[in-house]
Structure 1
Amino acid sequence: MVHDNKTWPRVQPDLPAPLRYGRWSDEVLSEFQTAYEQAYRDQRPVEPHTAEAWERLTASDSFATDLATLAVAPDGQVAGFALGFIQDHGGIELGPIGTIPAWRTRGISSALLASVLLLCRETRSGPITLTVDGESPTRAQHLYLLHGFQVTQRLTTHQLRLP
């Protein structure tokens, strides 16, 4: 999907209480990794990442630290996240974006996405893209369409389970 470069949030929305916005440098990697695993547990198979893999990804030059936005509970638990990576052509690939099941349906992913889009509008000039599972039980594709993303390509994947 690619952002239409026309549909922008007007203001950064509030997160539901008692959550607060957090930036990547403020939070512990292990809290993010736990949230990632919980958020994608009920999705189609998603490649698991070890702590070392996340450390390599987030230490890479392509990780957009300034865009990484988290929804954080008072106890430090990450309830939701939206990350971005700088592409070779200067654009931004958003994702992963997710909310842990206990916090879903409260507008967290929508607020995080709006926050990241505002940051992109202020600091980035390249296209904003993302990849989504159109069959996701969280209706993620619907969320992205509401925020100005358009489907540009559809991919079909098949999975073969071996005994």
Structure 2
Amino acid sequence: MHPEHRRQGIGTSILELLEARGSSLAAQRHPGLPAVLRTSGGRDPEPDAGPGGADIRPVLERRGYRRVRSWLEMERELPGPALELPAPEGARILAPAPERSEAVRLAHVAAFADHWGSAPIDAETWQLWTTSHTSRPEHSTIALAPDGTVLAYAVTSEDRPGVLHVALVGTRPEARGRGLARAVLARTLASGAEAGFTAAVLEVDAESLTGATRLYEAVGFHRAHVYATYEKPVG
């Protein structure tokens, strides 16, 4: 909300309309099943830095929303400390060619099937996102099995000039524990540094079941901000 128009009930009215639409869609698409409304609760306040975007939270809480998840925004300087570029056994580490886009999507669907709040992304949406003007496929990386299966991946974009956004990182469940995620990240960060990016940023579930936070810290990322997700049951 523009600062000049806050505290006039405009935001609450918009939220009410969105809730009504969300409830209607849930009833149409998943009749009889429980559903929740989910939204961002903004960034956690930081010392001497204002509310950080969390000024929406009182409104959400008055309407029955509760914090259900925290997300870490992590940053790393580039080039930063040099990383070893590992070569895991049974996989090639390389940038994904356009014809492997669908294989990367399928790897992502498999990798996030057991992650909180994740839903499969369809082929059309994936294609639109990975070919957008902010996409940087030359700095994305995959771990490719001999049979052509994508085992792990890092997908990148440039949402802020000079900052490489590692938008997605994942490993197929059956390929976890082989160092593949570290390998694709190392290649992606090296590629970004060589291209002149000054920093890399990513987001991770603070309660990641795969321990992703430890991996990112091991390759030089540190926590910059914390964001929250809020939910309330439909109805």
Q: TM-score, normalised by structure 2?
A: 0.64
Task: Give, in angstroms, the shift of residue 29 of structure 1.
Answer: 2.1
Identify the match of residue 99 of structure 1 among 171, 177, 185.
Answer: 171
Cα pair 1:40 1:46 within 8 Å, conserved:
yes
The whole-number CA distance in structure 1 between the counterparts of 2:98 and 2:130 is 14
Paired amino acid for 1:133? D
Task: Give, in angstroms, the shift of residue 161 of structure 1.
Answer: 4.2
Q: Percent same amino acid among aligned pairs? A: 28
Q: Does 1:14 align with 2:87?
A: yes
Cα pair 1:8 1:117 within 8 Å, conserved:
no
Identify the match of residue 100 of structure 2 among 14, 28, 35.
Answer: 28
After superposition, what is the alpha-carbon deviation per residue over 1:39-97, rounded to whole angstroms, capped at 9, x for unaligned? 00111112532101111112112111111111111111110000110123331110200
Q: Give the number of the structure whose residues are more often strand, by fraction.
A: 2
Aligned to 1:131: 203
Structure 1: 5+ residue stretches without partners: none
Q: Does 1:80 align with 2:152?
A: yes
SS of equivalent to 1:159: strand
- RMSD, matched Cα: 1.7
Cα pair 1:21 1:71 within 8 Å, conserved:
yes
After TM superposition, list the pairs within 5 Å mapping 1:107-118 onto structure 2. 107-118=179-190
Which of structures 1 and 2 has the bigger CA Rg? 2
Paired amino acid for 1:28? R
After superposition, what is the alpha-carbon deviation per residue over 1:8-30, rounded to whole angstroms, capped at 9, x for unaligned? 30x42112x22112322164222
Cα pair 2:156 2:167 within 8 Å, conserved:
yes
Cα pair 2:107 2:150 within 8 Å, conserved:
yes
The whole-number CA distance in structure 1 between the counterparts of 2:86 and 2:172 is 19
Q: Give the number of the structure whose residues are more often helix, by fraction.
A: 2
Q: Which moved more, 1:25-34 or 1:148-157?
A: 25-34
Identify the match of residue 3 of structure 1 among 68, 72, 76.
Answer: 76
- Structure 1 runs of 4+ off > 4 angstroms? none
Aligned to 1:66: 138
The whole-number CA distance in structure 1 between the counterparts of 2:98 and 2:92 is 12
SS of equivalent to 1:85: strand
Structure 2: 5+ residue stretches without partners: 1-73
After superposition, what is the alpha-carbon deviation per residue over 1:128-150, rounded to whole angstroms, capped at 9, x for unaligned? 11011110010001110111111
SS of equivalent to 1:94: strand
Paired amino acid for 2:75? V
Task: Give, in angstroms, the shift of residue 126 of structure 1.
Answer: 3.2
Q: Which moved more, 1:144-153 or 1:43-52?
A: 43-52
The whole-number CA distance in structure 2 between the counterparts of 1:162 and 1:100 is 33
After superposition, what is the alpha-carbon deviation per residue over 1:88-130, rounded to whole angstroms, capped at 9, x for unaligned? 3331110200000000011000111111111111112332110
Q: Does 1:55 align with 2:135?
A: no
